[in-house]
């Protein structure tokens, strides 16, 4: 059995979890999320606790046990606290601004790049920092990676869009290589 799958999920105040025919609905102050349970995985619920159970011991069920528990725990945290990812613009003249539900990026191309926020996602821009917020962890990460892919950081000067805590591995340029060979 999975160690992570055995852990109990604590349901905070204001969050409601329902299980109807293998479809889990988690409702809270920040929104609601859905998950379809795989076969041979079941839930034990009371008012404040939730436990995920594997009904048999075959390999596929064992593999899904911890994954399903982590997905449900992320859903519970998302509807109560929310998830966010921070990105940083590095480069002279690189700018970002919000326009309604759109994020407009000026990152060195001949045209501004617009990214539309899907339902449940919001953007916040402060100076050279972009924050992507929402209740669905997977969607927040996906949108953050799409923003980063507009201009990924390059290894020579480090210019581009990077995650706030990301460390860019720098390379020596052509001039530094020439000095080292001489």
pLDDT beyond 90 at 180: no
Together in a domain, 93 and 75: no
Tokens representing residue 129 in the block = 């920092």
Instruction: Report the pLDDT value the prediction gives residue 84, as an integer from 0 to 100.
Output: 97
Beta strands in the chain (DSSP E): 9-10, 16-20, 23-28, 31-36, 41-45, 49-54, 83-90, 95-99, 102-106, 113-116, 121-126, 129-134, 160-163
Bridge partners (DSSP) listed for residue 35: 24
What are the backbone angles phi and psi of residue 117, rounded to the nearest 5°? -85, 125
* Average pLDDT value for residue range 75-82: 96
- Whole domain around residue 157: which residue ranges? 83-163
Determine the Cα–Cα distance for residues 57 and 23; give it in Å rounded to an integer: 22
Instruction: Report the pLDDT value the prediction gives residue 141, as an integer from 0 to 100.
Output: 97
For the chain, report the end-to-end CA distance as a whole number of angstroms. Answer: 60
Together in a domain, 108 and 149: yes
Q: Are 30 and 82 in contact (CB under 8 A)?
A: yes
Q: Tell me the per-residue pLDDT of 35-72, one tens digit each, with 9 for 90 and over.
A: 999 989 999 998 899 999 998 888 888 889 999 999 99
Among 65, 80, 95, give the residue marking a domain's end.
80
Among 80, 109, 125, give the residue marking a domain's end.
80
177 is a domain residue: no
Instruction: Report the pLDDT value the prediction gives residue 178, as an integer from 0 to 100.
Output: 73
129 is a domain residue: yes
Together in a domain, 53 and 102: no
Together in a domain, 115 and 140: yes
pLDDT beyond 90 at 73: yes
Together in a domain, 112 and 157: yes
pLDDT beyond 80 at 182: no
Q: Are 150 and 105 in contact (CB under 8 A)?
A: yes
Among 80, 95, 110, give the residue marking a domain's end.
80
- The helix/strand/coil state of 65 is helix
Instruction: Report the pLDDT value the prediction gives residue 122, as an integer from 0 to 100.
Output: 95
Q: Tell me the per-residue pLDDT of 81-91, one tens digit each, with 9 for 90 and over.
A: 999 999 999 99
Domain containing 117 — which CATH number? 3.90.930.12
Confidence of residue 22 (pLDDT cuts 50, 70, 90): confident
Together in a domain, 66 and 12: yes
Together in a domain, 134 and 88: yes
Together in a domain, 88 and 131: yes
Q: How many domains does the chain have?
A: 2
Instruction: Report the pLDDT value the prediction gives residue 5, as an integer from 0 to 100.
Output: 84
Q: Tell me the per-residue pLDDT of 93-105, one tens digit each, with 9 for 90 and over.
A: 999 999 999 999 9
Together in a domain, 63 and 87: no
pTM of the model: 0.88
């Amino acid at each position: 059995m999975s160690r992570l799958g055995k852990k109990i999920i604590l349901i905070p105040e204001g969050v409601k979890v329902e299980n109807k025919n293998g479809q889990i609905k988690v409702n809270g102050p920040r929104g609601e999320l859905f998950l379809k349970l795989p076969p041979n995985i079941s839930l034990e619920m009371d008012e404040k606790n939730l436990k995920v159970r594997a009904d048999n011991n075959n390999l596929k069920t064992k593999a899904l046990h911890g994954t399903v528990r982590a997905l449900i725990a992320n859903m519970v945290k998302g509807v109560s606290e929310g998830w966010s990812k921070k990105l940083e613009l590095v480069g002279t003249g690189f700018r970002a601004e919000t326009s309604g539900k759109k994020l407009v990026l000026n990152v060195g191309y001949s045209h501004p790049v617009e990214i539309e926020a899907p339902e449940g996602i919001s953007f916040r821009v402060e100076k050279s920092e972009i924050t992507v917020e929402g209740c669905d962890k997977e969607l927040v990460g996906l949108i953050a990676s799409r923003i980063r892919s507009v201009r990924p950081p390059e290894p020579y000067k480090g210019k581009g869009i990077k995650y706030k805590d990301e460390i860019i591995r720098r390379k020596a340029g052509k001039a530094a290589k020439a000095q080292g060979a001489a």
